[in-house]
Chains A and B, each alone.
Chain A
């Protein structure tokens, strides 16, 4: 017994040192940026731009993160292929709907209707891919050891990535530009790129819609019941398999919509686009507390912010060249740090150790 306590202390010290080192590095970078003016000089407007870019990117992460959170809630499984659900709908809708609509002029004539059609197609394709994946790769393994579905999820992720690569080619495909959304709006004296504003508003609407769906509708109640206890839920007359499928579909629909918003902001789609946003959205879900919908939203926004503000703030402050290249490192470091020090996330319960 005493041996065990010694271990914990020893590891605890190492982790504590690690944590302190990170805090010191971040503080040092921030201070030298703000007070010693290392690196590029930014005006207040630049900083506001960084913030807004972060928030709009973060709201996309939030939408994708919902899929991880919902599935983790019901199955305690990391759906590694979720980024591919995001990609599949976006690419398909871009190639078969957005590009034709744009070249025929329909999109610019009826931007709202056009975007709605594109988003709905993307959602449908994402949902289709998600349901197929769930049926083939996850459902047969519901009672298998926990690593088994994770491995099939990894397999599914690569399968879809390279399937769509074969289907649509490996080139970057341009997402059409909407004439209406070129330029900036001025809100309270702050200039915002129109696309970013639309992304934020659309995300908030979808997040609220999803929250209402989960908390107020019968199906949402069923999802929560299955998340609580599958066997009891089955006894209460809930079709567990069907509910799990609906959960996957809901997450995938959000991802499909997020994908189109992503295309609008970055103006290009490709077969590999799901991977990094997928991992970052997972980070966001964990950050907020996996299993919790408001947590996913908070985590997404937080991650987006720190990713946008981090490189100019404390990385440049440290005198690191090409700081923006290390944006991904910040996100992955966040993931590692959260899982080590606060696996329950901002609002969630402690899952990483207990239920694992």
Chain B
């Protein structure tokens, strides 16, 4: 194939990257990310976002050609990069022409414009941006031209450095008690890492990559192949043991703040595991899942609260089974009317249920019992042998136990007859029924067990916060949980954990994300469904299914 520079494609990719960056700027994401340092004094998250656009454009323009001509790559990259700058320059000039634009577009602030024009005045800055982005576009394009021996270490060096910088809060919290104050100051800032640490990570990552490709990998694989069956079993046992031990000591390493984040992730894992049974295993798309979370939380609140609304003053452990039982009961009760409904109708009806419960919780009707918008206060803390659980670290173990139980139950059910029945149901209800599967009980069990996990999460949630308000139980929680199981991989248990870490843990660490969380979730849901519908960590079955669908398509299957 004689590679000829495809100008139309180049223009399209460049402009698309520019328009996306324009959108990211106009909603305020760029500016708020700019407040977060990655490498102190050198690079902020906002700058990374801004500069990766022309780089990616240059990279994409030259992709997909077997042999890239250097000259063409330079031209293509430069054009794509420069075009990326065009919509941004338009925005800069717009603020010159209409200084009042901020009254309408609230996030087009002087800070944003100064960020975009690289600190210079508008006109000079526009030119700088144009040239800078063209250069970055060339850099992106040149990535294809570089030989593997340079490209791979470079990618891993940059990747580790940036990844470490983005997650600097994790290492900061872990290392703080170990390292001395002076050393900490040399390596970390309040946000982000110092150039020194960045350089160290960069060099180490490059060194390791070179070592790995120059024989390290070979030696590792040789050794793995040489192991006997017995040794292999043993090494697996050891790694499982190490995993369990590290889970147990994790909160001690992480410190209070990170443990709280992990607690949050854990609650979402719990809910995700439950919804995964309903959506992932049984294929019943439930958008009102937050209802069971709310029921678990409210039942726990009413039963254990020391405040005015408490009716029983029960202990946490006595109330827990009641709260879970109430959630199961609700799951089955709401399941009965929708038994004959399928697919998208089910989704909308469950969404309706969730909204009904939310509106009822805020209404005056139930205010005497559950407090209306003021919620329930003074919810009891769990105690073990007279020891009261108050700190995040205590709840960590409680949540860990809950997640452990849920993983065990979900994985056993998946491989049991019931799990097979759910999957049959998901594939084709009519066929499943013809094979003798009892639709009513199978579906209700899915709703009930899914609700149980969510109720458990809700009960722990309310004990942990010791006060609950109806606005904590909105639709966004359902969408959150749905997103995390889809991103992780529908029907996959490790996928739930991965999804929760990415979608719940990451935004907690990068609080700049918080405001744009739903925006990114929305985009992520679309992107995942188009590019990788099986998720980040798919279960083997769904993976096979999605590939089967592709094969059918390749054969020209018509619906």
Cβ of B353 and Cβ of A336 under 8 Å apart?
A: yes
Cβ of B360 and Cβ of A158 under 8 Å apart?
A: no
Stretch of B198-206, B299-307, B518-526 that contacts chain A: B518-526
Give CA–CA (A292, B339) in the complex, Å: 25
Cβ of A152 and Cβ of B337 under 8 Å apart?
A: no
Give CA–CA (A322, B479) in the complex, Å: 29
Q: A161-B518, A322-B365 are in contact. Are A279 and B347 (CB under 8 A)?
A: no
Cβ of A321 and Cβ of B104 under 8 Å apart?
A: no
Report chain A residues within 8 Å CB of B553: 143
Q: Which chain B residue shows the least CB distance to A334?
A: B352
Q: A160-B522, A163-B23 are in contact. Are A339 and B349 (CB under 8 A)?
A: yes
Stretch of A36-44, A175-183, A219-227, A325-333 that contacts chain B: A325-333
The range of chain B's interface size is 35 or more
Stretch of A46-54, A165-173, A207-215 that contacts chain B: A165-173
Interface residues of B in 497-531 (CB under 8 A from A): 515-516, 518-519, 521-526, 529-530
Interface residues of A in 270-287 (CB under 8 A from B): 279, 282-283
Cβ of A333 and Cβ of B356 under 8 Å apart?
A: yes
Interface residues of A in 139-191 (CB under 8 A from B): 140-141, 143-152, 154-163, 165-169
Cβ of A147 and Cβ of B285 under 8 Å apart?
A: yes
Contact of A145 among B347, B482, B518, B549 (CB under 8 A): B549
Cβ of A159 and Cβ of B519 under 8 Å apart?
A: yes
Q: Which chain A residue shows the least CB distance to B285?
A: A147
Cβ of B363 and Cβ of A326 under 8 Å apart?
A: yes
Cβ of A155 and Cβ of B521 under 8 Å apart?
A: yes
Cβ of B529 and Cβ of A148 under 8 Å apart?
A: yes
Report chain B residues within 8 Å CB of A149: 529
B308 within 8 A of A: no
Stretch of A11-19, A27-35, A255-263 that contacts chain B: A11-19
Report chain B residues within 8 Å CB of A169: 106-107
Report chain B residues within 8 Å CB of A145: 549
Cβ of B522 and Cβ of A7 under 8 Å apart?
A: no
Contact of B364 among A162, A325, A340 (CB under 8 A): A325
Which of A4, A162, A343 has the most CB atoms of chain B within a 10 A radius of its CB? A162
Interface residues of B in 76-127 (CB under 8 A from A): 104-107
Cβ of A159 and Cβ of B106 under 8 Å apart?
A: no
Report chain B residues within 8 Å CB of A352: 341-342, 345
Give CA–CA (A37, B351) in the complex, Å: 35
B439 within 8 A of A: yes
Contact of A279 among B104, B353, B355, B482 (CB under 8 A): B355
Which of A146, A154, A283 has the most CB atoms of chain B within a 10 A radius of its CB? A154
Q: A320-B365, A326-B359, A353-B340 are in contact. List 13 more A-B contacts (CB 8 A).
A: A15-B336, A136-B526, A147-B343, A152-B526, A155-B483, A160-B522, A279-B348, A279-B355, A325-B359, A325-B364, A328-B359, A353-B341, A356-B344
Q: Point out residues on A near B: beta carbons under 8 Å.
A: 3-4, 7, 10-11, 14-15, 18, 77-78, 95-96, 136-137, 140-141, 143-152, 154-163, 165-169, 231, 279, 282-283, 320-322, 325-326, 328-329, 332-333, 335-336, 339-340, 343, 352-353, 356
8 contacting pairs across A/B (C-beta < 8 A):
A7-B440, A11-B340, A78-B348, A141-B529, A150-B347, A279-B351, A329-B359, A343-B341
